[in-house]
Structure 1
Amino acid sequence: MNETPFLKMNGLANDFAVVDARRGGMRPSAEVIRKLSDRAAGIGFDQFITIERSPAGADVFMRIDNADGGEVAACGNATRCIASLVMAETGARTASIQTRAGLLLAEIDGTGTISVDMGEPRFDWQAIPLAEEFHDTRAIELQIGPVDAPVLHSPSVVNVGNPHAVFWVEDVDAHQIEIFGPMLENHPIFPERANITVAHVTGRSAITIRTWERGAGLTRACGTGACASLVCAARTGRTDRAATISMPGGDLLIRWDERDHIWMTGPVELEFSGFLDAQSGAWRRSDAAGEAATG
């Protein structure tokens, strides 16, 4: 077996397998990523992250593959994880990470908490993108359920590195996002599919959300979902421009600054290390306690 080292990391239980291709690690095929993502037989993760050399002069390039093997442009929680690795490697208190969504800058405070500048949100219907023109993307015509009594309707939409639709509800647990999430993710209005969030504003600086991520499914935390919820809430007058976003995996602090950049602040965790075969999908933990947990 040609083994590639990997790390298992998470940001608020949104979890990742990370391979450093700068040091000879290999990015598996989509088929192998799907196998490795399986939580029963594989490593189990929401996204597979490959660290590569940046062609643009950033510290690293971060490539993101969802659990279904499809590549995406952005992942907020993964960005914090990779930033923590880069800063540990360089000894610096800042890091620059190139992604398909653009250049992201990160910094660490005295407590070890990572903040990432996620850039500016895009609200124009073509930039999200949507399949048809909407002059006002604070609430578009999209609903689930009967026409005269929809269960969900009129989401706010935005691109924060990937497309998001945010539905405003009174109770995030009262809606079966695992059922309607796949339908909305693949709705024709979203030509590149979309992440689907239900959000309950509990105060001027507090929002509770649950997110169905395109290509990954229902996750315990979604960094870009938290960013999308805050900017859409502030844009529609529901909150101020900074709020604590509560998710099943924990809380993120999201701030939309005066330059219109979104700052995401939260913790990261290194769970364990191991080795994988990028050709077959076989894997093993490198610590003695985890030798039995192999595929």
Structure 2
Amino acid sequence: MRLTFSKMHGIGNDFVVLDCRNDAFALDETQIRALADRHTGVGFDQLLSVEPARDRSCAFYYGIWNADGSPSGQCGNGVRCVAAWLHRAGALAIGEDVRLESPSGPVTVRLLSANEVTVDMGEPDFEPVASGMAFVPAADRYIFTMTPGSPPGPLAGSAPEAGVVSMGNPHAVVLIDDLADPSLAVFGPAMSTHEHFAHGANIGFVRQRDRAHLQLRVHERGAGWTQACGTGACAAMAVLHRRGDVDNRVHVQLPGGTLRIDWAGPGHTLWMTGPAAFAFEGTWPVPASSDETAG
């Protein structure tokens, strides 16, 4: 069996997109990991499947899997790529608002051009349970200090605060002065799997330049350090906005490029705007599934 795919990226956050509108998604975790391998497979941060919608109010459904084969609830850069893919497939027009169904619920997308998409990401959810937190912070319901179990290094020694928010997937946002701090290499993965989070979390380290500009690095659960994280940019803006530190429009610079995030605060949905790009098309020989190998 050979699998036809599109390779895409949103400011460096890269994806393999599969057309599952007529044929059901059929890869297991072992096959996803093989496809994700950057040396022997195709390579990606997330795998996206475009499928018929389950929700009748939506035009299509998109599934999301991390490089380690685990499922994900939402992907900001990914949904922009899905919208651009649908446009190239003739299923979405420029200027048209369309509801797409994600694993965490519907989102509205609008194509500004063939390769520029704005997405209604919903309202940020600061309730700890939404991020799978195993406890409620005593001092505040969305800010807590990472002291228990912290790894060694300058960051752990300063006990940084982390703002926790769900954008359809769990995020913890740490405000930091130096994004090149070498302890991030240890602290990011450790925090992503910290006991505070029942199912892990995406960890964003953000440096604030001013009220309208942020710099961000994200360690994604199931994928590791990525060139960009759309929901991470949304989470960083939402946490700092709730603290009163940023305005209603913020440009977030990530290693792969910049996203624009607009949020007017509680009672309003958050919008993310950025590019989506095609890299190449290809076919991949699918290895036997783990069940077939075991049999």
TM over 0.5: yes
Cα root mean square deviation, aligned: 2.0
Question: Is the Cα contact below 8 Å between 2:38 and 2:44 reproduced in 1?
Answer: yes
1:115 aligns with 2:123: no
Question: Is the Cα contact below 8 Å between 1:3 and 1:276 reproduced in 2?
Answer: yes
Q: Could you tell me how far apart the structure 1 residues matched to 2:121 and 2:155 are?
A: 38
Partner residue of 1:263 out of 271, 277, 280: 271
Partner residue of 1:125 out of 106, 128, 132: 128
TM-score (norm 2): 0.89
Q: Secondary structure at the match of 1:31?
A: helix
Where structure 1 has 5 or more consecutive residues not aligned to the other structure, the ranges are 282-295
Q: Structure 1 91/186 Cα, relative in aligned 2: closer, same or farther at 3 Å?
A: closer
Question: Is the Cα contact below 8 Å between 1:177 and 1:212 reproduced in 2?
Answer: no
Question: Is the Cα contact below 8 Å between 1:19 and 1:51 reproduced in 2?
Answer: yes
1:100 aligns with 2:97: no
Question: 1:8 matched to which residue of 2?
Answer: 7
- Deviation readout 1:93-132 (Å, 9 max, x if unpaired): 2332101111011001257410000001110112222101
Q: Structure 1 10/149 Cα, relative in aligned 2: closer, same or farther at 3 Å?
A: closer
Q: Secondary structure at the match of 1:109?
A: strand
1:233 aligns with 2:240: yes
Q: Secondary structure at the match of 2:208?
A: strand
Structure 1 residue 134: Cα displacement:
2.5
Q: Structure 1 148/54 Cα, relative in aligned 2: closer, same or farther at 3 Å?
A: closer
Q: Secondary structure at the match of 1:227?
A: helix
Partner residue of 2:213 out of 206, 210, 214: 206
Question: Is the Cα contact below 8 Å between 1:231 and 1:241 reproduced in 2?
Answer: no
1:272 aligns with 2:280: yes
Question: 2:190 matched to which residue of 1?
Answer: 183
Question: Is the Cα contact below 8 Å between 2:137 and 2:143 reproduced in 1?
Answer: no
Question: Is the Cα contact below 8 Å between 2:46 and 2:223 reproduced in 1?
Answer: yes
Counting only pairs closer than 5 Å after superposition, residues 31-42 of structure 1 correspond to structure 2 as 31-42=30-41
Structure 2 counterpart of 1:271, one-letter code: A
Counting only pairs closer than 5 Å after superposition, residues 1-295 of structure 1 correspond to structure 2 as 2-24=1-23, 26-57=25-56, 58-88=58-88, 89-92=90-93, 93-110=96-113, 112-134=115-137, 136-143=140-147, 144=150, 145=152, 150-257=157-264, 259-280=267-288
Question: Is the Cα contact below 8 Å between 2:12 and 2:228 reproduced in 1?
Answer: yes
Q: Secondary structure at the match of 1:253?
A: strand
Percent identity between the two aligned chains: 34
Q: Give 4+ residue runs of structure 1 displaced > 6 Å after superposition.
A: 146-149
Structure 1 residue 4: Cα displacement:
2.2
Question: 1:291 matched to which residue of 2?
Answer: none
Q: Secondary structure at the match of 1:166?
A: strand
Quick check: 174-183 or 249-258, which moved more?
174-183
TM-score (norm 1): 0.89
Aligned residues: 280
Structure 1 residue 280: Cα displacement:
3.9
Q: Secondary structure at the match of 2:85?
A: helix
